Chain A
Amino acid sequence: MKTIQTKLLAIFLNVTLGIFSLSCIFPLIWMFYSSLKQKRDFNADIMGLPKNPSFENYVRILTNADYHIFESVLNSIRTTVLSIALIIFLGFIVGYILSRVRFRGNRVLYVMFLMGLLIPIHSLLVPIYVVFRATNLGNKWFTLIIPYVAFGLPIAIFLVEGYVKSIPVSLEEAANIDGSSFTSTLFRIILPICKPILVTIGIIQTFATWNEFSFALVLIRDQRLQTVPLAMTQFTGQFSSDYTKIMAAMLITMSPIIIFYFVFSKQIIKGMVAGAIKG
């Protein structure tokens, strides 16, 4: 009896998860084989496989936008990598301090960082533009790192804070008795324990930063400094609807991210699932 029950349960669990996972990956597959079609075929049969698959869309886009696409990819990579590094590093420190250390202004800072999560971006476009222009920080290679880090900090801080709360204080106390300074404890002991959540933050913010569009539109004028989402707008005419090309272009711009994600997913998952606190 028990084994039949377990078997049924196993089937149910696997099928449910299977459907879900498939639905998550299917759009990517669909976009890919659709991008191998020409517009007429696509409009005629949206779901079906291409009759005459060809890479024409890709060739057109890549050969014509050569210098621009690659430049924008480089810009995006540079901006994203630097932003993530700062977000993780600073987010960790602030999250820890807010979680553990009682000081005047702790709640105030907490609420202040919370506010960053609540603001719709568009309402800040004009003020941010004004601020950056007044300080002459706009339209530089490092311009976007500033708002990306600033807006990425709240999530990092909260995740770290929540996570740190579940670490027993005895750990720090023991380290202190052993003569470790605050800084040393923070980085030598706490940091490794927080690896799972930091990896998580890194992953989440990588994609958020890579895909960000609004600030890039407002703060960057120089075409050579454009990030990938911004460079994509170059493909947009005022009136046109060639979905197969749209998808090819989307896939091209998403490909660094996708490759990054799938290559590192094993490590990432391992990193997240590994750590367990002993004692």
Chain B
Amino acid sequence: MKKKWVSVFMVVFLITALFAGCGQTDDSTDRSTEGSSTDDASTEDTSTEENGAYAGELSLMHFSTSEESEGNGGSDGFRTMVTEWDEANPDIALVQNVLANDDYKTQIATLAAADDLPDVFLLQGMNTRAWAEQGLVMDMTEIINNSPYNDQYDHSFFFPFTYNDSIYGLPVLTGGTTTVVVYDQAIWQEAGYDTFPETWDEVLEAKAFFDEQGMDVVAFGNSGKWQANSCFLSAVGNRFTGDEWFYSMVDKSGAAFTDQEFVDSLKFTQDIFTSGVFNPDFNAINNEDARELYIAGDASAFIGGNWDVSYIQSVLDGTDLYDTTKFAVIPQPAGADATTRTHAIGMGFAVAINPKLADDPAKLAAAIDLAYKVTGSDFAEYVGANYALGGLTKVDNVDLSNFDQFTVDFYNYSYVENKACEIYDSYISSAVWDVLNTDLQMMLNGDIDPQKVAENAQASYEANY
């Protein structure tokens, strides 16, 4: 959980006096980043002019730590944009609270519970409905319509953050796949396949070959319980049920977890994980450990998400394995005929604004401006040019000629060659997924019946959504 720490300078530059905009005051003095004055107590003073010039504090909370941005282009882009915005707004004291992802989730949940969220923060898709109902996030539909980048937005990304026809966030960071097979083409060719097999039946056949080599066929890590959901079931479920089923689940228009197609997908998942195709300790290690297996050559392939690919790229660069690493969709399960070649992709988090800012138009304008900046074309151009990644704002002609084969392949995998489907846990609610994920972990061991898993999930869905 530790990475190299590089940009202390960025941090020093960004972080001034850290209050987190909750009205907590006066213990340490406020230092502004550049030049002009700011208040040292709470925030509501503004030198308001009607063009929205605001001078005061703005609190932002996110999880793009400097560690995180080492291997993750989206985080790097985010931090860069925030820095640029901060420099461009010397009168505004931007107060950032940056935590690692897991801690961020705990902290933001605590703040939400206490109705004390920061001015600007990152909202997770699955919380949208609950928090919108609680009045914890501002309706941003108009804000989005007024955005200078509106025409360039890929509007399909807004879906997880929509509730009752209102949109509550601007999707942030990069839209990446959460279900990709990373494999070593060289060794699969030895096994008799030019590219990764299209069906799981073929993968099972190849198992004998890899057993002889003393390798795992596929590495996977599910100790966090969410991986099986995000990185596997989101795609496999879609192959059995098709897109409509999930949209119906989100809309509450009649689908249920206990529908046969979904149960079939669960059954398949159980079967494949008990078949020995995966590393035996998949439930005890997390995705980070699992990808190390691929890197070390102990596994011929790895299933994970775009964050894993970023990491693998940074580690393998320069080795032989780097050149022979290719990407594939999750193979087709036997008996699944709703869709093929789909992979789950989307943006899991969005920039949201605290509704209390409605009382202060100048401050609100500043917050909106920040939101536009981190999700707009500057961001998209930055991550496109540096990482071949895409964000909310579409940028034309991403120049792929600057990138190596690995990056180009992954870009094509993510955005060009395959069909997109939704990421399950960007929607519905955390209560439901927590129940499903916990049961899923047991199910992968063969300790609980898929039908029961579906029933439990359905019960939680009806109670909590």
Distance A19 CA – B2 CA, assembled complex (angstroms): 32
- Comparing A63-71, A101-109, A152-160, A194-202, the segment that makes contact with chain B is A63-71
**Chain B residues, CB < 8 A from A235:** 1-3, 5, 67
Q: Is A234 positioned at the interface, with any CB of B under 8 Å from its CB?
A: yes
Q: Are A224 and B1 in contact (CB under 8 A)?
A: no
Q: Are A237 and B18 in contact (CB under 8 A)?
A: no
**Chain B residues, CB < 8 A from A237:** 1-3, 65, 67-68, 70-72, 100
Which one of B8, B113, B287, B296 lies within 8 Å of A239 (CB-CB)? Answer: B287
**Chain A residues, CB < 8 A from B324:** none
- Comparing A88-96, A137-145, A259-267, A271-279, the segment that makes contact with chain B is A137-145
**Chain B residues, CB < 8 A from A66:** 8
Chain A residue nearest to B115 (CB atoms) is A130
Q: Tell me the residues in window 223-246 of chain A with beta carbons closer than 8 Å to chain B beta carbons.
A: 223-225, 233-242, 245-246
Distance A139 CA – B23 CA, assembled complex (angstroms): 11
Q: Tell me the residues in window 39-86 of chain A with beta carbons closer than 8 Å to chain B beta carbons.
A: 43-44, 60-61, 64-68
Distance A67 CA – B20 CA, assembled complex (angstroms): 21
Nearest CB on B from A220, distance (A): 9
Nearest CB on B from A158, distance (A): 30
Q: Is B311 positioned at the interface, with any CB of A under 8 Å from its CB?
A: yes
Chain B residue nearest to A134 (CB atoms) is B114
Chain B residue nearest to A43 (CB atoms) is B292
Nearest CB on B from A230, distance (A): 9
Task: Report the tally of A-B residue pairs with Cβ distances under 8 A.
Answer: 129
Q: Are A221 and B19 in contact (CB under 8 A)?
A: yes
Distance A224 CA – B19 CA, assembled complex (angstroms): 10
Distance A218 CA – B107 CA, assembled complex (angstroms): 7
Q: Are B3 and A138 in contact (CB under 8 A)?
A: no
Q: Tell me the residues in window 1-41 of chain B with beta carbons closer than 8 Å to chain A beta carbons.
A: 1-6, 8, 12, 15, 17-20, 22-25, 27-28
Known: A43-B292, A66-B8. A238 touches B27 (CB 8 A): no
**Chain B residues, CB < 8 A from A249:** 2
Q: Which residues of A contact B (CB under 8 A)?
A: 43-44, 60-61, 64-68, 125-126, 129-130, 133, 136, 138-141, 217-218, 221-225, 233-242, 245-246, 249
User: What are 22 A-B residue pairs whose CB atoms fall within 8 Å in the complex?
Assistant: A61-B2, A61-B5, A68-B8, A126-B113, A129-B110, A133-B22, A133-B116, A138-B24, A221-B18, A222-B18, A223-B18, A235-B5, A236-B67, A236-B100, A237-B3, A237-B71, A238-B68, A239-B68, A239-B287, A241-B288, A241-B292, A242-B3
